[in-house]
Amino acid sequence: MNRLWCLFFSVAAILAVVFFYIGPSMGWWFPGVAASPLGQQIDDLFYLILAITGVTFIGVHLVLGYILWKFGEVPGKKSLYQHGSHTLEVVWSIVPAGILLFIALYQMDVWAAYRMKSRFDQDAMANPVAEVTARQFEWRIRYPAPGKVLQDTPQADDLYTVNDLHTPAGKPVVIKLRSEDVLHSFFLPHLRVKQDAVPGLVIPVWFHANEPKVYDLVCAELCGWGHYKMRGQLTAQSQVDFDAYMQKLQQSQNDDGYREAAAE
């Protein structure tokens, strides 16, 4: 039995090497390469923490396996109890505390860039591209009419889409996030952007898509029975294409009276 557990812990350590250290090069951990400048830094932080926890995990399992092998039950042999080691306890408290402190300090720049510096991006903050309202189970998107600035309350000439967010690529943009009912989470996995949508709050979300492309937009908060189908897409496009899209949207909504229906 001891040998079985010894094998179990050793195999876990070997599997961990495969998943933790070969996985990243096989692209198992993230959906593709980060598609935003900050996303790359977030990935680097993730891999650093994975390396630290991975080494610890593998070390602990190898030691466990070895101890079970070496000191497993022997018929007739008595256990030996001792009070413990004060020095060891101090060491295994201080080392993890030191590692946590290092991570806390090391990640501060990325956290500040994501949460704080973005708030001072005057240009993007003054001109939010759209208001995104999460509700069970869809993303409602409200754009200002071309040439106008997004207002806090809906305007007569606003433009609407559902589950289909367009933004310019290659520069920082801001959307205003709200929720109409319960907690949702606005998640752009390729851009490494995730922000809770909280009823009663309007939260600016700042992101920067590197290149024109279509990305997934999903809800990352279990928000009800239809959570699984609460998905849309983000189309990041060149400024010229974005402007053309807005013109087309305005035209189509003028034509079919869609705006009144969508605004309800």
Q: Under the rule (CB under 5 A), what is the footprint of Cu ion?
A: 184, 219, 223, 230
- Helices 86-106 and 37-71, packing angle to 10 deg: 160
Q: Toward Cu ion, which CB reaches closer, 81 or 225? A: 225
- The whole-angstrom separation of Cα 135 and Cα 179 is 6
Determine contact, residues 242/234, Cβ cutoff 8 Å: no
Determine contact, residues 43/189, Cβ cutoff 8 Å: no
- Which residue, among 32, 29, 30, 39, has the nearest Cα to 207 in the 3D structure? 39
How remote is the C-alpha of 26 from its chain's centroid?
20
User: CB 230 → Cu ion: shortest distance, Å?
Assistant: 4
The pair phi, psi for residue 5, each rounded to 5°, is: -65, -35
User: CB 231 → Cu ion: shortest distance, Å?
Assistant: 9
Q: Toward Cu ion, which CB reaches closer, 49 or 182? A: 182
Q: Toward Cu ion, which CB reaches closer, 150 or 217? A: 217
Q: Toward Cu ion, which CB reaches closer, 230 or 249? A: 230
User: CB 136 → Cu ion: shortest distance, Å?
Assistant: 7
User: CB 46 → Cu ion: shortest distance, Å?
Assistant: 24
